[in-house]
Chains A and B, each alone.
Chain A
Amino acid sequence: AQTVTQSQPEMSVQEAETVTLSCTYDTSESDYYLFWYKQPPSRQMILVIRQEAYKQQNATENRFSVNFQKAAKSFSLKISDSQLGDAAMYFCAYRSATGANSKLTFGKGITLSVRP
C-alpha cells in the first residue's frame, strides 16, 4: 500500500517570503500522480498543483512550484512571495495511475500561517 508522509505539522512564513513544505511517499509503482491541495477554513479542498511521475520537469503554477525527486520519493511544494491568503492547511496526495480505483492517499497535512 502507498503511504504519504508530511512530517511538519506546522510552519510559518513572513509575508512576501518563500516557504517550502515537505512531503515524502512510499510506493512500489512506477506510474502515478502527486498533488498538493490547499484547505482553507471553509473546508473546501482546492488543487494547488499536480505532477505526473513520468515527467522529469517540475510542475509550476504561478507562485507555486514543486521539487519532485522520484528516486528519493520526495515531493516538496515551494510557495514564493507568500500572501496572507496562502494561510491554510496543505495536503500532499498520491494517486496510482493504474488500477480501477483512482482514490487519493493523503498525508496528515501541514498548517501554514503567514505573518503580516
Chain B
Amino acid sequence: GAGVSQSPSNKVTEKGKDVELRCDPISGHTALYWYRQSLGQGLEFLIYFQGNSAPDKSGLPSDRFSAERTGGSVSTLTIQRTQQEDSAVYLCASSLVGGLAKNIQYFGAGTRLSVL
C-alpha cells in the first residue's frame, strides 16, 4: 500500500526544453488523472486514463502536451518545447472504478515545474 507517487518533486527547466513527469498510481487503481494547478487558473483537468480505453484528452491545453500510460499502471506526462506559462504544479490522482470507493480520487504530492 503506498499512495500515489510522483517524480520528480520539483523540476526546473529552460524555455524550449522538453520535460517528462512521472506518476505511479496506487496498486489496483485502474483510473488515472492528471491535473494542473497554477496561480492564475486554479486546478484544471488535463487527461484521464481508464483501463484499456482510449484516454480522455479533452483538458490538454495544446499539442505540446501528451501523456501515456504503460501497462495500465505508470503514467508519463510529457511537455514539449516548454513555455513560461507551463510553470505550475502537476498533480496526478488515481481511483478505483466500481464499488463504493469508485468516486474517490487519491492524489500524489505533485511535481512543481518551473520554466525559466
A interface list, Cβ under 8 A from B: 33, 37, 42-47, 50, 91, 95, 97, 100-109
Q: Does B89 contact A (CB under 8 A)?
A: yes
Q: Are A102 and B103 in contact (CB under 8 A)?
A: yes
Q: Does B60 contact A (CB under 8 A)?
A: no
B:58-116 near A, CB below 8 Å = 58-59, 89, 91, 93, 95, 102-110, 112
The 8 closest A-B pairs by CB, nearest first: A45-B107, A106-B43, A103-B45, A44-B109, A43-B110, A108-B42, A101-B56, A33-B103
Chain B residues, CB < 8 A from A104: 33, 35, 43, 45, 93, 105
- Contact-residue size bin, chain B (C-beta under 8 Å from the other chain): 20 to 34
How many A-B residue pairs have C-beta atoms within 8 angstroms? Tell me. 56
Chain A residues, CB < 8 A from B43: 91, 104, 106, 109
Chain B residues, CB < 8 A from A95: 103
Chain B nearest CB, measured from A19 CB (Å): 21
Which of the residues A43, A44, A50, A101 comes within 8 Å of B104, measured between beta carbons?
A: A50
When C-beta atoms are compared, the residue in chain A nearest to B102 turns out to be A102
Q: Are B56 and A45 in contact (CB under 8 A)?
A: no
Q: Are B48 and A101 in contact (CB under 8 A)?
A: yes
Chain A nearest CB, measured from B42 CB (Å): 5
Q: List 20 A-B contacts (CB under 8 A).
A: A37-B107, A43-B91, A43-B109, A44-B108, A45-B91, A45-B107, A47-B104, A95-B103, A100-B50, A100-B53, A101-B48, A101-B56, A102-B31, A102-B102, A102-B105, A104-B35, A104-B43, A105-B45, A107-B42, A108-B42
